[in-house]
Amino acid sequence: MSSKRIFTTPTLAEKHSGIPDRLIDKARAAKSLVYEGKTTSDTTPRQRGIAIPQGISKQRFFEAIEELKKELGSENVELNDKELKEGWYMEHPNTHDMMPILDSEELVASALVYPGSTEEVVKIVRWANKFKVPIFPISMGRNLGYGGAAPRVRGSVTIDLGRRMNKILNIDPDDYTCLVEPGVSYYALYEELQKRGYQHMWIDTPDLGGGSVLGNAVDRGVGYTPYGDHWACHSGLEVVLPTGEVVRAGMGALPGNNTWQSFPYGFGPYSDGIFSQSNYGIVTKLGMTLMPNPGGYESFMYTFQNESDLAPLIEIIRPLRISNILENVAQLRHALQTVAIKGKPRSTYWTGEGVMPQEVYHKELKKMPVGDCEWVYYGMSYGPPHIRKYKLDIIHQEFTKIPGAKRIDPSTLPADEYFWSRDKIAAGIPDLEELLWVNWMPNGSHIAFSPVSPIRGKDAEALYALAKKRHTEAGIDLMPAFCVGLREMHLIVEIVFDSKNEKMRRAADKCLRDMIDDAAALGYGEYRTHLVLMDQVAGTYNWNDNALMRFNEKMKDALDPNGILAPGRCGIWPARYRGRGWEMGQGSGEKSEGEGVAPGAGTRL
C-alpha cells in the first residue's frame, strides 16, 4: 500500500461509531500501519454466495426479508450478499468477524437490520419467530478478539442496534449516572461529558474507546479505573425478550420511579444477571454509574528483570490490591508487548520461524525508554498529591523488595511512549493505541485466552507455564498480561495471527483449545471467550453432571421457545439445535455448523 495515501477516518460528528476530533491524528497513523500490514486486498470475494440459515428454504428466506422490509422500511434492511470488507478497528464490518479464526465466510450474517427504537426491535423479534430465522444482536460490533460483529450461527440476521439507537438518554450530574442506548461508544460518552462541562464525573473505558458502553457491560468487559467492572457498575436494563415482551429490570419496573440508575436491584429476583453473557434478551437501554473525579491522578510504572519475578510480585500485589492501595485493575504485562505496541511487524526485529528468542526482544528493549526487563507494571494512584504520596510510598517500598525492580520516572518518557496511553485510560479518557500490537503479524488479527485465577504466585506461574508450553508448541509469540481485580486476576493472552494464513489460524485455534483444556484441568475457567470457543469453555463449567448448562437450557427453552435469539451464544443451544452437532471443540476445524435444526418444532406466538 502506498504510504502517501491519506488515511481518513469518520469522526464522531459524522458517525455514531466515529473517532473524536482529538484522536484524528492517532487514528490516521494507526490506520496507515494496519493497511501497510495487509498483504492482500481488503475485500474477500464471496465463494459460497449469501449465507441462508439452516431450517428455512432460500425462497422462504427472501419472502421473510421482503416482509421485514415492509415492517422496518427497505432502507433499514440490507442483504449481506457483497464482498466481505475487512476494514480496521474504526471502520469495522458488521457482516462478519473481521479477525476471523475460521474461513471468512463461515461466521457471516445473511442480512443486517437497523432498528430505530425498542418498538422496532420488538417487530424484528416477532418477525424472527414467525419465520424461525436466527437473529443476533450487536451494539457496536467491536467485540474484537471475541468474534467482533459475527453471529455464532451462519446466516443469522444481525440486528445492528447501534446504527440508529445511539442516544445518550440521560446524564445525571447530581447522582453521577447515565442512561444509554446500544450505539453509544466510550468516545461518545466521554466527549458528551466534556461538552456539557461535567468534568466532575469520569467514565471508565476499556483499552480502546470505540466499543459500546452497553455491549461491553453486557459482555462483562472491564476497564481501568476503580469503576472497571462494568457489569458491577451498571444499574438498570431495558430488555426485549425473545418472544417480544419488553421488560425493565430493577427499579425500572416501577412506573414513575426515579431510582432506576441509582438502585440496581428493585424488588424480587435480580433478573439482570441472566441478560449478561447469554442469549435470553436484547438489551435496548442500560444505566451506568459514573465515577467522581478523584481530584488528581498519577500514573506509575515499574519494570522487573526476571521471568521468575512473576510469582513473588503477584504475592506482593494481592494484599495491596485487596486493601485498595493499588486502586485500579493492576496490570502486569510481559515486556514483549512493549516491543509489539510500537506497531511494527515482528519481521522488523526477526525473520526466523517459531517463537521469537528472548535475546531478540531484550536487545530491542535495551534501546527503548523503558529499558531491558521481562515484566512491566502499569498502575495509577488517585486523589490529591498528599493522598497519592501515602499510597505510592507503600507501593514503592513493597515493589522494590523484588531485586532489580525499577520505578521508571514518567518525566523521562517521550510523549509517544505507550505509558501515556495507559495514563489516559486509567483516568477514564478513551484512547486508540492498544490495537497497535496487532500489526505484529501481516493481516494482523487477535483472539484471546482469558482465564480467571486467585491472586497467587503459584497460580500465575501455573497459567504462565501452560500458556508458554502451548505457545512454544504452536510457534506463536506469547504476550501475557495479568489484570488483577479485587479478589481474582484474569490472565489475558492475546494471540496475534495472520488471518489470511490458514495454517496459522489452525495453529492459533489449537493453541487456544489446548490452553482451555489445560487450564480447566487445573481448575481455571475463562471469564469471556470468542464465539468459536464458547461451547468448549461452557463445557468446562460442568460441575454435577453439567447442572448449570441444563439450567441454562431450561431457561432458554422457556424464554425462547422457537430458539431464534443468538443460538449457541455462550454455549447455550435452543432445543431445535440440540443433538445435531452444532457444538464446536477440539478438532472442529473450520466447521461451525451442525446438521440442520428440528423442523416445525417450537411455538407459534
218 binds ligand ADP (CB under 6 A): yes
The only residue of 214, 435, 455, 491 in contact with ligand ADP, by rule CB under 6 A: 214
Nearest approach in angstroms of CB 276 to ligand ADP is 8
Beta pairing partners, 526: 451
- Grid cell digits, residue 306: 526476571
Nearest approach in angstroms of CB 215 to ligand ADP is 3
Which residue type sits at 426? A
**Residue 208 or 341 with smaller CB distance to ligand ADP:** 208
The answer to whether the beta carbons of residues 127 and 561 sit under 8 Å apart is no
d(CA 418, CA 379): 13
Side-chain half-sphere exposure of 20, counting CA atoms within 13 A? 21
The only residue of 90, 193, 282, 329 in contact with ligand ADP, by rule CB under 6 A: 282
Nearest approach in angstroms of CB 445 to ligand ADP is 16
Q: Which residues are catalytic?
A: 146, 527-528
421 binds ligand ADP (CB under 6 A): no
CB under 8 Å, gap of 24 or more: what pairs does 389-398 form?
Answer: 391/325, 391/327, 392/298, 392/300, 394/320, 394/325, 395/300, 395/320, 395/325, 395/326, 398/316, 398/320
The only residue of 9, 44, 143, 299 in contact with ligand ADP, by rule CB under 6 A: 143
Q: Give the residue at shortest CB distance from ligand ADP.
A: 215
**Residue 162 or 442 with smaller CB distance to ligand ADP:** 162
The alpha carbon of residue 276 and the mean position of all alpha carbons in its chain are separated, in whole angstroms, by 13
Nearest approach in angstroms of CB 347 to ligand ADP is 30
**Residue 33 or 107 with smaller CB distance to ligand ADP:** 107
- Grid cell digits, residue 343: 506497531
The only residue of 129, 212, 381, 439 in contact with ligand ADP, by rule CB under 6 A: 212
Element holding 58 (H helix, E strand): helix 58-72
**Residue 219 or 518 with smaller CB distance to ligand ADP:** 219
The answer to whether the beta carbons of residues 70 and 110 sit under 8 Å apart is no
- Spell out a b/e string for 171-199, using b for 16 or more CB atoms within 10 Å of the CB, else e: bbeebbbbbbbbbbbbbbbbbbbeeeebe
Return the number of other C-beta atoms located less than 10 Å from residue 7's C-beta: 17
The only residue of 31, 123, 132, 142 in contact with ligand ADP, by rule CB under 6 A: 142
- Spell out a b/e string for 212-231, using b for 16 or more CB atoms within 10 Å of the CB, else e: bbbbbbbbebbbbbbbbbbb
d(CA 480, CA 465): 11
d(CA 505, CA 121): 36
**Sign of the dihedral through C-alpha 73, 241, 182, 155:** negative
Nearest approach in angstroms of CB 66 to ligand ADP is 26
556 binds ligand ADP (CB under 6 A): no
Which range, of 44-52, 207-215, 361-369, 589-597, touches ligand ADP by CB under 6 A?
207-215
One symbol per residue from 167 to 186: x for binding ligand ADP (CB under 6 A), - otherwise; what is it?
---------------x----
Q: What is the DSSP letter of 400?
A: T
Q: How far apart are the first and last CA of the chain?
A: 53
157 binds ligand ADP (CB under 6 A): no
**Residue 231 or 541 with smaller CB distance to ligand ADP:** 231
Nearest approach in angstroms of CB 99 to ligand ADP is 12
- Give the total of residues touching ligand ADP (CB under 6 A): 22
140 binds ligand ADP (CB under 6 A): yes
SS (H, E, C) 413-471: CCCCCHHHHHHHHCCCCCCCCHHHHHHHCCCEEEEEECEEECCCHHHHHHHHHHHHHHH
- Residue that has been written with the C-alpha cell 483499552 in this structure: 207
d(CA 541, CA 547): 9
Which range, of 50-58, 69-77, 192-200, 212-220, touches ligand ADP by CB under 6 A?
212-220
The only residue of 118, 156, 177, 216 in contact with ligand ADP, by rule CB under 6 A: 216
Q: Which of 67, 70, 81, 215 is nearest to 129 (CA)?
A: 67
**Residue 280 or 300 with smaller CB distance to ligand ADP:** 280
Nearest approach in angstroms of CB 230 to ligand ADP is 10
The alpha carbon of residue 46 and the mean position of all alpha carbons in its chain are separated, in whole angstroms, by 27
The only residue of 219, 431, 509, 560 in contact with ligand ADP, by rule CB under 6 A: 219
Nearest approach in angstroms of CB 227 to ligand ADP is 17
The only residue of 20, 53, 145, 215 in contact with ligand ADP, by rule CB under 6 A: 215
Which residue type sits at 479? M
Which range, of 132-140, 341-349, 477-485, 502-510, touches ligand ADP by CB under 6 A?
132-140
**Residue 44 or 212 with smaller CB distance to ligand ADP:** 212
d(CA 541, CA 523): 10
139 binds ligand ADP (CB under 6 A): yes
427 binds ligand ADP (CB under 6 A): no
Nearest approach in angstroms of CB 592 to ligand ADP is 15
**Residue 212 or 328 with smaller CB distance to ligand ADP:** 212
Q: What is the DSSP letter of 396?
A: H
Nearest approach in angstroms of CB 219 to ligand ADP is 4
Q: What is the DSSP letter of 108?
A: B
**Residue 304 or 449 with smaller CB distance to ligand ADP:** 449
569 binds ligand ADP (CB under 6 A): yes
The answer to whether the beta carbons of residues 485 and 494 sit under 8 Å apart is no
161 binds ligand ADP (CB under 6 A): yes
**Residue 505 or 528 with smaller CB distance to ligand ADP:** 528
| Cα angle 536-437-314, degrees, rounded to a multiple of 5 | 65
Using CB under 6 A as the criterion, which residues of the chain lie in contact with ligand ADP when the complex forms?
Answer: 137-143, 147, 149, 161, 182, 211-212, 214-216, 218-219, 282-283, 566, 569
